[in-house]
Structure 1
Amino acid sequence: MEHALTFANALFLALEANGHRVSLIDRYYGPARRLAFGTGEQPIQQKEHDPNDRSWAPKRLTVVHIDGQMVGLALVEVAVPTLLRYVGNSTYVRDIDYIAPKGRSRHATDTWTITRDCPTGKLRLVAYAPHCRVELAEHWQESGKSRLLARLPDIVAGIQAFGAKMPALVAQGDAQLECERRQYEVEQRQRAIREDRRRIEESTRQSQDQLDALIHHWAEIKARSEFLERLEKDIAGLPASERAPLLARLALARELIGPTDPMPHFRAWRTPAERYTPKHFEEGE
């Protein structure tokens, strides 16, 4: 850690001395994005940092401003696959350093090996384009006794040269983003038009279904009402001794049928426009 901090401090001071401001920006700043770079001996560029990856979680992008362009900087420690041996108490040691306890087999049942990436103490500096539509990166890595700190002037010059490549690539990236934005707006408008048509058709169908149900209901009520009116006329022609009980039954039948006025049902009917207000899309909107 001390080695990395010493180099990072020297690098930032050297960049500032050359007139290039170093700063931190939010990873959601405009088109900015922070790349994730592998820690293996081969500098493999990975996909954009996954926020669900809990192995590391950068909250800000470290960038240096080169002639108005941002160059992302990432400092990682190189790791290599290493065979480790479990020795108990949640502890692992390098298998080549493992010494079996006296009087016990080296391959006792309470120990096992596993391969994991282990840090080597060697640093790798990565300069990359933090623009989400620009794929460009360059790296400087320690090897053997060669240290990044000793190559600081060359690294600063390399970062400056890297920044000189950025304007044209960023302009292309911005143009691509603008094209994607326009395409997205067109697709969103088309989806909105399709949804509007669907809602119009749905509201029309629902309104028609309700009106049909109202008509059928009224037809049933009207038929019952006409039936009772006919009964009332027939009862009126019967002898007085027979009329009283039949009129009582007729009153019960009318009470059972309930109101025969269709107006309350018609007032409750909802027109298509009352169910959904269509949207109006202007040409070229």
Structure 2
Amino acid sequence: MRAELAPARKRTRMTSKPPPLSRVEDRFEVSREQLFEEVWETPILHLAEKYAVSGSYLARVCTVLRVPRPPVGYWQKKAVGRAPRRPELPEAQPGDQQVWSKDRPLARPAREERGEERQKAGRGAARPAVNALLRGTKSQFLKTRKIDANEFLRPYKQLLPDIVTSAASLERALDLANGLYLAFGKKGYPVRFAPPDQKLQRAKIEERETVRHDRKYGQYGHGTIWSPLRPTIAYLGAIPIGLVLTEMTERATMSYQNGKYVRESTLDRRQGRSILPSHSWTTEQDLPCGRFRLVAYSPHPGVEWQLSWQETSKRSLDRAFGEVIRKLEGSVEELKALMDAADDEAARKKREQELQWERWRREEDKRSEAKARTESLQQLSDIMADWTKALSVEMFFVEAEKRMQMVDGERRVHLESRLRLARSMLGDLDPLSFIEQWVSPEERYQRKFMDE
């Protein structure tokens, strides 16, 4: 058994501060501190109307976020000035969901950590303890998408423990995971799904027992390996450590027989030579081998840290659980330093990004001001040209009216009619109306940064 440092996927931290909750819409975020204040100021049914949810659902939100609610009869007692004193909001525990948002699922309600729980199997008998995270998961793993005989399970359910296994090794995989989770629990380290409101990321996991230059898993060597919706996390104090239990693959030779590829090692050698034609196709493929690898990694954004332990033909993985926990305990300070450094780096990048956005906004502000000035000058130039044209037209009509004074009779009536028709066709030629339509640069755009 050996522990190996392996490269992990490079991850970037996405940081965005939510806007203040001025009015409740479909998208909002409520911290447990805010929810605590609100449930003690407003009856839960009225508060539920504010968030457009049912009272029972909001009560469940309070349970998940560890927010104490007023007891039955509290509001009646408060009306007569006899309400009990409000309790303090308990501190959030590692792994607790701390922000509620309607566009994200709720975490499982946090259970009080207990020792090994044994389920009664009958009179005087008891079954081995089963970790709460694994109860009822076997049937969920078996409800899988269509897979070939030599592939890992791909269950439809997304929120499952991070276990990658074939159907043949599922029972043993669940036993190994149960032993591992219980071993962490005995040391006081809870194993939970990553909270939906925290950006904990699953590392890229190597499933090959022996890493080669190529990968040939699944049909045509491009098979998809299932991964859960959220990582499985062990909390060593405040330090989250991702856990993946994966069955490994080994390279095997496949022979084409009866319309499908069959692993050569499963055929009787002498029988295989007699039944396989000399021109039978063969190929190589990475197949689940029944041996497991445990990967522990940091799910914290920006931290590249990973350890792995894998079974050998001489030692089972479950015999290494004590070593695993001791190794991780010894890595807590290293991980804390890496997480702090990643947070500092993320904060630095965020500041740089904000400064870049500030520079871009200032440059855009200058460009918009210059554009408004250019457009205003162009409009003014067009108005001046139209003004000149309007004056020329007006002079034409004035001169025409003067000349009509020298014409009598029917011709004058006819000319006046034609002149009125010409004026109506040209429309309003008042030069002052052009100025009224002019838009100044300040009316087009208001500077946002006045310090430059």
1:7 pairs with 176, 179, 184, which one?
176
Instruction: Name the TM-score, length of structure 2 as normaliser.
Output: 0.54
Distance 1:161 1:104, change over 3 A: closer
| Residue aligned with 1:56, SS | coil
Quick one: distance in 2 between partners of 1:120 and 1:96? 12
Distance 1:73 1:27, change over 3 A: farther
Per-residue Cα deviation, 1:14-69 (whole angstroms, up to 9, x for no partner): 11111212221147614x2210111112479xxxxxxxx96323211212122321
- Is 1:212 the equivalent of 2:381? yes
| Residue aligned with 2:370, SS | helix
- State the Cα RMSD in Å: 2.9
Query: Given that residues 16 and 22 in structure 1 are in contact (C-alpha distance below 8 angstroms), is that contact kept between their aligned partners in structure 2?
Result: yes
Q: State the match for 1:246 in structure 2.
A: 415
- Displacement after TM superposition at 1:128 (Å): 1.2
Q: State the match for 2:425 in structure 1.
A: 256
Q: State the match for 2:312 in structure 1.
A: 143
1:38 pairs with 182, 206, 230, which one?
206
Quick one: distance in 2 between partners of 1:134 and 1:194? 35
1:56 pairs with 226, 229, 234, which one?
226
Q: Which moved more, 1:6-15 or 1:245-254?
A: 245-254
After superposition, residues 101-120 of structure 1 pair within 5 angstroms as 105-107=277-279, 112-120=281-289
Q: Which moved more, 1:62-71 or 1:207-216?
A: 207-216
AA partner of residue 387 (structure 2): W
Give structure 2 stretches of 5+ with no counterpart. 1-169, 213-222
Q: State the match for 2:390 in structure 1.
A: 221
AA partner of residue 194 (structure 1): E
Q: Which moved more, 1:139-148 or 1:99-108?
A: 99-108
- Displacement after TM superposition at 1:274 (Å): 2.8
Q: Which moved more, 1:79-88 or 1:55-64?
A: 79-88
Quick one: distance in 1 between partners of 2:342 and 2:399? 84
The sequence identity of aligned pairs, in percent, is: 28
AA partner of residue 37 (structure 1): I
1:84 pairs with 246, 249, 254, which one?
254
Q: State the match for 2:158 in structure 1.
A: none
2:321 pairs with 152, 171, 186, which one?
152
Instruction: Name the TM-score, length of structure 1 as normaliser.
Output: 0.82
Per-residue Cα deviation, 1:73-116 (whole angstroms, up to 9, x for no partner): 11111112333345466x432245467798884536xxx44433
Quick one: distance in 2 between partners of 1:78 and 1:281? 63
Quick one: distance in 1 between partners of 2:313 and 2:273? 34
| Residue aligned with 2:198, SS | coil
Query: Given that residues 27 and 34 in structure 1 are in contact (C-alpha distance below 8 angstroms), is that contact kept between their aligned partners in structure 2?
Result: no
AA partner of residue 209 (structure 2): E
Give 1 or 2: higher helix fraction.
Answer: 1
Quick one: distance in 1 between partners of 2:446 and 2:255? 70
AA partner of residue 170 (structure 1): M
Per-residue Cα deviation, 1:186-221 (whole angstroms, up to 9, x for no partner): 111111111222222222222222222222222222
Quick one: distance in 2 between partners of 1:282 and 1:63? 50
| Residue aligned with 1:224, SS | helix
Quick one: distance in 1 between partners of 2:368 and 2:189? 56
Query: Given that residues 127 and 139 in structure 1 are in contact (C-alpha distance below 8 angstroms), is that contact kept between their aligned partners in structure 2?
Result: yes
Give structure 1 stretches of 5+ with no counterpart. 45-52
Q: State the match for 1:195 in structure 2.
A: 364
AA partner of residue 251 (structure 2): P
